Amino acid sequence: MSIEIRGVSKNFGDFRALADIDLTIPTGDLTALLGPSGGGKSTLLRIIAGLETADTGTVAIAGTDATGIPARKRDVGFVFQHYAAFRHLTVAQNIAFGLTIRRQSKQAIAARVEEMLELVHLQQFADRLPAQLSGGQRQRMALARALAIRPRVLLLDEPFGALDAKVRRELREWLRRLHDEVHVTTVFVTHDQEEALDVAHRLVVVNQGRIEQIGSPDELYDEPANAFVMGFLGPVTMLGGRLIRPHDIGLSVHPTNRPGEQGGWVKRINRVGFDVQVEVEVDQDEAPTLVTLTRREAVEKGLNSVHRVWIHPIPGAVLAPWHRQPRPVAHPQPTRRSRHSAEPMTSITSMV
Ligand SMILES: Nc1ncnc2c1ncn2[C@@H]1O[C@H](COP(=O)(O)OP(=O)(O)OP(=O)(O)O)[C@@H](O)[C@H]1O
């Protein structure tokens, strides 16, 4: 069931939380709304759900205008970060809740609850109370409860936000597989770029009430629309006045005359897991350029004993123009730039 959002704006007093949002979410897709805190992701999700009303614009679900329809009649399943389970009801009763209030027959409810317990792998926990579950199990119960009513749309607001990193990763994987099974149109809010890139088919980057870019994980990573998107998706650094990813920089201990090459001094070498991060000072008035190498590359180049190096963008590197900030930093907190004013990204092939 596709979701069509047209011209949606929302103000809270003088504060503009959403500014003229247009977005189509295709049927059966798993879409992530990704962006920094306060950017408007939850507000947009709540407007889709009918839990919040837009000041202007429309929301259509499956081709029907849902703008004036109350949340309970929109046929959406909703899961929040902190799932409010009924503490005195068992897992099975919690999952059955939406079906019970819809006055389905006892037999139909029992069959659906069984199906849902199986789907979320909680069969053996059916008779437990929510307090007797782990955080990850509770969120799976929340998903089962949301899905039990056969919603047309599933909306998830940071559903794994309160869980530890390992459980989050497991649930991410699980959610992807679950979506492959049930194919319900799903919108997932997260501020975690790794989570979004890992789980979603499509990402919508939301910042300061606007959409910065929409695309597949590959499109966003390889062709970010602007410096904000590029900086939000992972570490970036500066080379030759442009924003570049640290692993898109090649390093040699002799000059090689490659396009865009710059000489510099090694200031620091840090081992980060399997990678080695090298800080290279090209210009002493600027923050050092970060270069990420594998440990093997660092050893082969004998980096521990050299100080003078030459660095260059590798072929195919993604480079963004960068309007000079007072002091560029290795991991900038990018300022918002409108989609329209953003300069196009250039690849190294077109730069040289
Ligand atoms: N009911 C409200 N009253 C006033 N301001 C609100 C209300 N709801 C949200 N806001 C403001 O609107 C902005 C967008 O909030 P929203 O929750 O949509 O952001 P978000 O991108 O989901 O952020 P987070 O990841 O922190 O939840 C924030 O600045 C927030 O303070």
pLDDT one-digit tens code per residue, 116-146: 998 888 999 999 999 999 888 888 899 899 8
Would the CB of 42 count as within 6 Å of ligand 1? yes
Would the CB of 191 count as within 6 Å of ligand 1? yes
Would the CB of 53 count as within 6 Å of ligand 1? no
Ligand 1 center to residue 12 CA distance, Å? Answer: 9
Q: Which atom of ligand 1 is nearest to the CA of 40?
A: 18
Ligand 1 center to residue 334 CA distance, Å? Answer: 19
Residue in 11, 12, 211 to alter for ligand 1 test, most ligand atoms within 8 A of Cβ? 12
Q: Supply the pLDDT for residue 164.
A: 79
CATH 3.40.50.300 domain span(s) along the chain: 3-227
CATH topology of domain 3-227: Rossmann fold (3.40.50)
238-317 CATH, one of 3.40.630.10, 1.10.3720.10, 3.10.20.90, 2.40.50.100: 2.40.50.100
Would the CB of 217 count as within 6 Å of ligand 1? no
Q: Supply the pLDDT for residue 71.
A: 86
What is the sign, positive or negative, of the torsion defined by CA atoms of 59, 65, 68, 72?
negative
**Top-confidence range, 63-72, 156-165, 247-256:** 247-256
Rounded to two decimals, the pTM is 0.82
CB count within 10 Å of CB 267 equals: 13
Residue 27: closest CA among 62, 59, 78, 58 = 62
Q: Is the pLDDT of residue 208 over 70?
A: yes
Residue in 9, 21, 41, 192 to alter for ligand 1 test, most ligand atoms within 8 A of Cβ? 41
Q: Under a CB-based contact definition with an 8 Å cutoff, are residues 159 and 138 in contact?
A: no
Strand partners of residue 279: 268, 290
Nearest residue by C-alpha to atom 16 in ligand 1: 40
Q: Supply the pLDDT for residue 170.
A: 83
Would the CB of 210 count as within 6 Å of ligand 1? no
Q: Supply the pLDDT for residue 329.
A: 40
73 or 209, higher pLDDT: 209
CB count within 10 Å of CB 343 equals: 13
Measure the CA–CA gap between 259 and 311, rounded to whole angstroms: 10
Would the CB of 207 count as within 6 Å of ligand 1? no
Q: Supply the pLDDT for residue 279.
A: 95
Q: Supply the pLDDT for residue 81.
A: 75
Measure the CA–CA gap between 64 and 6, rounded to whole angstroms: 13
CATH 2.40.50.100 domain span(s) along the chain: 238-317
Q: Mean pLDDT, the chain, as a whole number?
A: 86
What percent of the chain clears pLDDT 90, i.e. is strictly above it?
A: 56
Residue in 21, 33, 41, 43 to alter for ligand 1 test, most ligand atoms within 8 A of Cβ? 43
Measure the CA–CA gap between 84 and 48, rounded to whole angstroms: 20
Tell me: the pLDDT tens digits for 21-50?
A: 999 999 999 999 999 999 999 999 999 999
Instruction: Please count the helices (runs of H) and the strands (runs of E) in the chain.
Output: 10, 19
Ligand 1 center to residue 325 CA distance, Å? Answer: 27
Q: Supply the pLDDT for residue 274.
A: 86
Which residues are CB-contacts of 287 (< 8 A; sequence separation ≥ 6)? 238, 327, 328, 329, 330
Q: Is the pLDDT of residue 327 over 50?
A: no
ipTM topping 0.90:
yes
- Confidence label for 83 from pLDDT (cuts 50, 70 and 90): low
Nearest residue by C-alpha to atom 30 in ligand 1: 38
Q: By CB neighbour count within 10 A (0-12 exposed, 13-18 middle, 19+ buried), where does 335 fall?
A: exposed
Beta-strand (E) ranges in the chain? 3-12, 15-25, 30-34, 56-61, 64-65, 76-79, 153-157, 185-190, 202-207, 210-215, 237-239, 242-244, 249-252, 262-272, 275-281, 289-294, 308-313, 318-321, 346-347
Q: Supply the pLDDT for residue 13.
A: 94
Q: Which atom of ligand 1 is nearest to the CA of 35?
A: 21
Q: Supply the pLDDT for residue 286.
A: 87
Ligand 1 center to residue 198 CA distance, Å? Answer: 25
Would the CB of 209 count as within 6 Å of ligand 1? no
Q: Supply the pLDDT for residue 11.
A: 97
Strand partners of residue 202: 31
- Confidence label for 325 from pLDDT (cuts 50, 70 and 90): very low
